[in-house]
Amino acid sequence: MSISTVGVVGLGNMGLGMAKSLVRAGFSVIGYDISDARRAQVEAEGVRFLPLAEVLNGADALVFSLPFAKDVEAVVTAPGGLLSRSDRKVVVIDTSTSDPGTTRRLATRLAETGHGLLDAPVSGGPSGAETGSLTMMIGGEAADMELAQGVIAALSAKAVHVGASGAGNIAKLVNNMLVAAHLVTTGEALKLSESAGLSAEEALKVVNAATGRSAISEAMVPRWVIPATFDSGFSAGLMRKDLRLALELAAETGSPTPLCSRAGEIWEEARQGRIPDTADFTLMADYRSK
């Protein structure tokens, strides 16, 4: 079953970048965003901006890029939308960071009506979306992943099928829990270095050549923290949401997370001060203001 038309629901920083990558790969792309103000920018990139019902009923495959699990559920269950379609099988590639329980429940509902759902959260940020070089961690049926392979290839440089429905979101939550903690610890370490008389730049040369390195120290700090641009395109509010979901999953499964729970408290404490939800999440590693 071929896929020629892809619908993208959610055309923010990530969704628009993915839509552009799909256009570049030769797909006909239709899209919807809750903000009609996105229309001109979207259509300038070769994407037809349509009402949600038309996107859900006109696409051969769907890509979701939405902020919360409740938004994903609202789109999947929209009246007259995907659950009412019987003309073909549609695979939903949900790149949102959601909770595994919601994903599994929606996957069951879609399967009952002949459709598929891949939970496929991504890493790589807006630049990765724009260049089709995201890393995708995918949960769901192998047959659905095979059917949507062309779409996945257009969006990602690396796509890993990590297991059954919900597994992709588990992997993403584990990853982002580490990212949230690493931002805190890296900022504290660089502040210590500066306070003791060694510049952050010099300290990073050692850290990144030794065992303390991470994606935070190797990529984020040099790119967004040291230049003080703080424009990664990912908000502190979204990181707080992901960390909250990870810690809720830990509580549900009885998995102790004393250090990451404290990181969660630090993120919450910063909300009322220097890092509101609208700020860039890399501010958490700003060693100048700690």
Q: Which residues are catalytic?
A: 172
From the number of C-beta atoms within 10 Å of its C-beta (0-12, 13-18, 19+), residue 79 rates as exposed
Question: Which CB contacts under 8 angstroms, 24+ apart, belong to 258-262?
Answer: 259/181, 260/177, 260/178, 260/180, 260/181
Closest C-alpha among 175, 290, 285, 289 to residue 230: 285
Q: For residues 23 and 92, give the distance between their C-alpha atoms in angstroms, rounded to a whole number.
A: 18
How far is residue 156 from each of residues 80, 187, 195, measured CA to CA in Å? Answer: 31, 30, 41
Q: How many residues does the chain have?
A: 290
